[in-house]
Amino acid sequence: MIQPRNKRPVPQSVPIEAAELTLDSVLELLESSGRPYDAEFIRSIYAFSAEKHGDQRRRSGEPYLTHPLHVAWLLAEWGFDQVCVVVGLLHDVIEDTLTTREVIADEFGEEVAELVDGVTKIGQHAYVRRDDAQAETFRKLILASVRDIRVILVKLADRLHNMMTLEHMNSDSQRRIARETLEIYAPIAHRLGMAKVQADLEDLSFFYLRPGRYRELEAKIQQKLKGARSEIQKVDKRLKKELAGAGLEARITFRVKRLYSIYQKLRRQGIEVDQLYDYLAFRIVTEDVKDCYAALGVVHQAWQPLPGRFKDYIAMPKANLYQSLHTTLLAEGGQPFEVQIRTRDMDSIAEEGIAAHWSYKQGKPDKRDENRKMAWLRQVLDWQKEIADPRAFLTALKLDLFPDEVYTFSPGGDVLAFPRGAMPLDFAYRIHTELGHRCSGARVNGKLVSLKTELQTGDRVEILTSNNRSPSRDWLGLVKTSRARSKIRHWLNTEQKKRSGEIGRRLLERAVRKHKVSPKRAFDSDRMRAYLEKEGIANLDDLFSRVGFGKLSPAQVVPRLLSEEELSTQEEKPNKLLSAVSKMLPFGSDAIAVRGDGDMLAYLAKCCKPLPGERIIGYITRGRGVSVHSAECPNVKNLLYDPEREIEVSWARTPNEVYSIQLEIETEDEPGMLARLTDTMTKAGSNIRQISASTREPGKGLIDVIVEVRDQKHFERLSHAIQDLKGVFEVTRRMGS
Ligand code: MN
């Protein structure tokens, strides 16, 4: 398993390295796999590739054809289908010979031509070291792969064979290619669950990038293994005995952690080789899941488990669908060792990932698993559209090749991947922008949930919409994906601009009418044009939005628009209530509706949260629509220093919603008070959300309570009921800050 000094590592995803590989070796592999294949077709492709590559040679001096043959052989060995094998044979034909895509399409069909073209495109920039170029490479890789994942599989085989023959390149090329392999291709293999291929690519890259460190580590691990040999044999023997004793049929194997993975662990934890315990692990492969847990019970009985080291990836598979039980046990000598327990299916998925599915399903990968694996690729494609700078793109990719993510299902069965922590709104915006804007709730696995619910892997998510629903600023704090955030922000900005323009227009109209001038005439006048030009304001809309945002006040603008005579004319009864705007659309909550004839957006002020039925006052904010306060709210007096911005509002309907209000109740400090209070509130039909009691001064108690009420009437009834209680001095509703 471990190679002598100065030899590059032997890939474990390649069981035998054939020195004299022939096409027959490839055909034999296909034959023994039991998958359908057409030997004549493959032979004709091989002949075509041989003819096109002619007497081209690799740097090693071998005929070029040995490379595509090896790539095809790897693909057959990994269990992929005939098309993959064929594309492996042809993959360098467009790149390195004069053959065009059209010729391949004519000879072998559109499917093969498309895939060969895809692999070619990935390869075109692959050897350029600069970050942007790598990003470019990778973008093409992703683009191609979205149409057919087999492009990536062929590319991985190509890369592995190139890494296996890297000794013939000069050392600059070696380092460049090794780095790209480590940063781009190994993580892709990881995401596709191809653990062996990933480790092979990593170890080969490590060998070329840090040769000294590689050899040192290799020697140390070998020494360590030698020292542990008798202990390993003891554990192995006992493991077999215990499992057999429990009547469990299981295959027990033993593996040493791969060198690059050890190297990373040492660096991450800042430890030395002699402090490394889990470089080796026993693997128990059982018949079924039930036996996995039974085997776990057996080993936990036989050895003492190390606390905090048990992980159940069977119940919670990793993002790349890896499943296994992990536990660490203490051997007699006090040496910890790891045990991994899984079924045969899980084992092959753990080792081969996507390839395992390919071979099981006899060339026809399961649609759903396939979708799942594609999900992350699609996600990458999504970001790529949003990030213009290739450098930023590559950074984002590198960060995101390892994060935790969740896979969810749409009602149609599509699989969508999200970063962990994503909420229903992220889901809605992923599907369609409008669906996001109109999202009023969500059903997860058939159950109604709040928009603050984190999505979990396996969730079936259905988005509920409402036509009078629109995004609110709060949503920005609820979403996890940049897509949702930017869509919401964009909507809010557009809406705010629109709204402030509208508010500004109304404010100016009202100010002009006060002087008995028609707004239409005033706005379309020479005076107006002169004013705009003088002030450098582009047009009327610009003026309106400046007024709406409060950058200009009507009192500043109107004198410039009207003549002396008009200015001296005043409406006898300047009645702002008459001209008031009002129909207010709900803003922030479906349940709020305020009567009127305009279409300005209104929202309930956070400081006092007025109750339906309560006397309210509207205040035109600078750019955020109309805030609606309780007439009793202490903040209103401060706001109304600018009386032009006051506006009449009233309740349009009593919605079916409950509101939380905060009450301060001063009482006699006597036993049973709290019980009587809660009893009264419950009888009045109010839910108590929170209650706390304290003593303010001797003999006086203070009770703070948050209760739910439906509207002002309900609130008054509740408040009277409390006031009527014996021992209650005073009830105050708290508002303001
Ligand atoms: Mn190649």
Ligand 1: distance of its center to the CA of 126 in Å? 11
Ligand 1: distance of its center to the CA of 461 in Å? 43
Asked whether residue 603 carries a pLDDT value surpassing 80, the answer given is no
pLDDT of residue 376: 44
Q: Sheet holding 646-647: strands in order across? A: 646-647, 616-620, 626-630, 600-604, 584-585, 594-595, 650-651
Ligand 1: distance of its center to the CA of 135 in Å? 20
Ligand 1: distance of its center to the CA of 57 in Å? 13
pLDDT of residue 653: 58
- What confidence tier does 652 reach under pLDDT thresholds 50, 70, 90? low
Ligand 1: distance of its center to the CA of 155 in Å? 8
pLDDT of residue 660: 82
Ligand 1: distance of its center to the CA of 191 in Å? 22
Average pLDDT over residues 560-586: 57
Ligand 1: distance of its center to the CA of 7 in Å? 23
pLDDT tens by residue, 677-686? 888 888 888 8
pLDDT of residue 390: 41
Q: Are 707 and 686 in contact (CB under 8 A)?
A: yes
pLDDT of residue 413: 59
Mean pLDDT of the chain: 79
- Of residues 1 and 299, the one with the higher pLDDT is 299
Asked whether residue 583 carries a pLDDT value surpassing 50, the answer given is no
Which of 51, 95, 386, 389 is catalytic? The answer is 95
Nearest to 368 by CA among 410, 427, 318: 410
Average pLDDT over residues 379-394: 44
Our answer to whether residue 96 is catalytic in this structure is yes
Ligand 1: distance of its center to the CA of 718 in Å? 80
Q: Sheet holding 439-444: strands in order across? A: 447-449, 439-444, 461-465
Q: Which structure tokens are listed for 701?
A: 């108690």
Asked whether residue 556 carries a pLDDT value surpassing 90, the answer given is no
pLDDT of residue 532: 92
Ligand 1: distance of its center to the CA of 17 in Å? 18
Asked whether residue 130 carries a pLDDT value surpassing 50, the answer given is no
pLDDT of residue 528: 92
pLDDT of residue 457: 67
Asked whether residue 579 carries a pLDDT value surpassing 50, the answer given is no
Asked whether residue 159 carries a pLDDT value surpassing 90, the answer given is yes
Ligand 1: distance of its center to the CA of 91 in Å? 6
**Which of 351-365, 392-406, 601-615 has the largest mean confidence?**
601-615
Asked whether residue 368 carries a pLDDT value surpassing 60, the answer given is no
- Of residues 177 and 368, the one with the higher pLDDT is 177
What are the residues whose beta carbons fall under 8 Å from the beta carbon of 365, sequence distance 6 or more?
Answer: 354, 357, 358
**Which of 433-437, 520-524, 595-599, 670-674 has the largest mean confidence?**
433-437
- What confidence tier does 358 reach under pLDDT thresholds 50, 70, 90? low
Asked whether residue 183 carries a pLDDT value surpassing 70, the answer given is yes
Measure the CA–CA gap between 607 and 295, rounded to whole angstroms.
60
pLDDT of residue 671: 76
Asked whether residue 388 carries a pLDDT value surpassing 80, the answer given is no
Using DSSP, state whether 125 is helix, strand or coil: coil
Ligand 1: distance of its center to the CA of 32 in Å? 26
Ligand 1: distance of its center to the CA of 146 in Å? 21
Measure the CA–CA gap between 621 and 607, rounded to whole angstroms.
14
Average pLDDT over residues 558-570: 84
46 secondary structure, DSSP code: H
- Of residues 712 and 400, the one with the higher pLDDT is 712
Q: Which residues pair with 408 in a beta bridge?
A: 416
pLDDT of residue 294: 92
Burial 75-88 (b: 16+ CB within 10 A, else e): bbbbbbbbbbbbbb
Neighbours of ion ligand 1 (CB under 5 A): 92, 158
Average pLDDT over residues 572-583: 38
pLDDT of residue 458: 64
For the chain, how far is it from start to end, CA to CA, in angstroms?
70
| Residue 97, phi then psi, degrees to nearest 5 | -130, 180
- What confidence tier does 654 reach under pLDDT thresholds 50, 70, 90? low
Our answer to whether residue 95 is catalytic in this structure is yes
Ligand 1: distance of its center to the CA of 67 in Å? 7
pLDDT of residue 513: 86
Angle between helical axes of 195-209 and 171-180 (0-180°, round to 10): 150
Which of 96, 107, 148, 669 is catalytic? The answer is 96
pLDDT of residue 241: 94
**Which of 129-138, 203-212, 559-568, 687-696 has the largest mean confidence?**
203-212
Asked whether residue 148 carries a pLDDT value surpassing 80, the answer given is no
Nearest to 292 by CA among 356, 344, 360: 344
Ligand 1: distance of its center to the CA of 151 in Å? 12
Note the Cα 242 to chain centre separation in Å. Answer: 44
Average pLDDT over residues 519-539: 90
What are the residues whose beta carbons fall under 8 Å from the beta carbon of 555, sequence distance 6 or more?
Answer: 511, 644
Give burial (CB, 10 Å; 0-12/13-18/19+) of 566: middle
Bridge pairing between strands 584-585 and 600-604? parallel
Average pLDDT over residues 461-488: 89
pLDDT of residue 383: 42
pLDDT tens by residue, 62-78? 889 999 999 999 998 88
pLDDT tens by residue, 211-251? 889 999 999 999 988 888 888 899 999 999 999 999 999 99
Asked whether residue 643 carries a pLDDT value surpassing 60, the answer given is yes
- What confidence tier does 545 reach under pLDDT thresholds 50, 70, 90? confident
Neighbours of 294 (CB within 10 A): 17
pLDDT tens by residue, 606-626? 777 787 778 888 887 766 677
Task: For residue 123, give Cα distances in angstroms to 8, 119, 127, 376, 447.
Answer: 24, 6, 8, 22, 48
Using DSSP, state whether 290 is helix, strand or coil: helix
Q: Which residues pair with 444 in a beta bridge?
A: 447, 461
The pLDDT > 70 percentage for the chain reads: 79
- What confidence tier does 391 reach under pLDDT thresholds 50, 70, 90? very low
